[in-house]
Chain A
Amino acid sequence: MAQEEGQQHPLSIYFWIWGLLFVVSFGSYMVDYLNLQGALRYTLILVFMFVKAGFIVAIFMHMKWERLALKLAILVPPVAICVLIGLMALEGKYTFLTRIEFFGDSTFVPEEGHH
């Protein structure tokens, strides 16, 4: 077995990734702090999210050094989630339009003293 000794890697790689996660998290927070809006906001949120998730799985969880069979077994099934996201986004939009059609625009009034 290739991994009889387990996953031993130099400490430096963890420190690098650790630092990088801090920088990227700071970036995500800045997206909100600087109040970016529109396509730029959503693109940056998603990019930072996937970069962070990728480094955590690849380095901290050692997926980068696992054999391809394990990588495929764990990383391929979540792709099915994309299908559900697509279906439910369509469903959500349909429900929204149906509500507007039958109930009209929202009449919600935020209470005073709240945001």
Chain B
Amino acid sequence: MSEAAMTNTGDVLPEGGRGVVSDFSSDKQAFHVPWGKAMMWIFLLSDTFIFSCFLISYMTVRISTSDPWPVPAEVFALSFGGDPIPLVLIAIMTFILITSSGTMAMAVNMGYRKDRIKTFWLMVATAALGASFVGMQAFEWTKLIVDEGVRPWGNPMGAAQFGSSFFMITGFHGMHVSAGVIYLLVIAFRVKRGFYEKRGGNYEIVEITGLYWHFVDLVWVFIFAVFYLW
């Protein structure tokens, strides 16, 4: 092209990389929320599709296998000296994650009230609960691998697909929780040392972190229902 591209109002548009950015942003705002929040929502939407693919794969292999599917209530039962209680560790993990969602919601609220100390401690509490969730998951994996002999390619209790689905789904979720714990701690310490005061005292970031954390809890709701209870 010999002449520079122009808008219909006659402004000259930049070329090259700057042109791409300028064309795509085009000075328009579709969603009237901070850009970080819109981006987090879009990331979570893509993550929804990833987790859906895992859960749908699990559904497909579970429907298609002719071997008996191991009974989760028995596989994940735990005994405290007496009779094994079905799914007890999973229930505790579920309650821990819900509790952490509660503390996170409080942290977001305190953030908007600009109460930095309370926000910090609530976020640290959320991270601690998340870390204990990952710890319990490590315990659960160890028990399954060492005591029950579950492997991604087979197990003594039934369909081989049980192990691969289990390790893939809970592993990917556990990775999200671990990443969330790190993310929470980074933001919590920034809040504490006044990092956001220098940026106009805007605590939207706590809500954006919260979105990620609640999403992790949300995914667990689906895993708990379709993997452990079904």
Contact = CB atoms under 8 A, between A and B. Distances in A.
A48 B101 contact: no
A70 B38 contact: yes
B179 interface: no
Contacts of B157: 110-111, 114-115
A38 interface: no
B49 A96 contact: no
A4 B31 CA distance: 13
B98 to A, nearest CB: 5
Contact of B229 (A31, A59, A103): A31
Given A66-B33, A70-B41, A46 B59 contact: no
Interface string A75-109: 00110010011001101110110011001011010
B63 A56 contact: no
Given A45-B225, A95-B64, A96-B66, A81 B98 contact: no
Majority secondary structure, B binding face:
helix
Contacts of B63: 89, 92-93, 95-96
Interface residues of A, number: 64
Ranked 7 nearest A-B pairs via Cβ: A92-B63, A95-B64, A111-B156, A49-B225, A115-B74, A18-B102, A108-B67
17 contacts: A3-B32, A8-B112, A18-B101, A31-B229, A46-B225, A56-B218, A60-B104, A60-B210, A60-B217, A61-B214, A70-B38, A74-B41, A92-B60, A92-B64, A95-B63, A110-B158, A114-B149
Interface of B: 30-33, 38, 41-42, 44-45, 48-49, 52-53, 56-57, 59-68, 70-71, 73-75, 86-87, 91, 94-95, 98, 101-102, 104-106, 108-109, 112-113, 148-149, 156-159, 203-204, 207, 210-211, 214-215, 217-218, 221-222, 224-226, 228-230
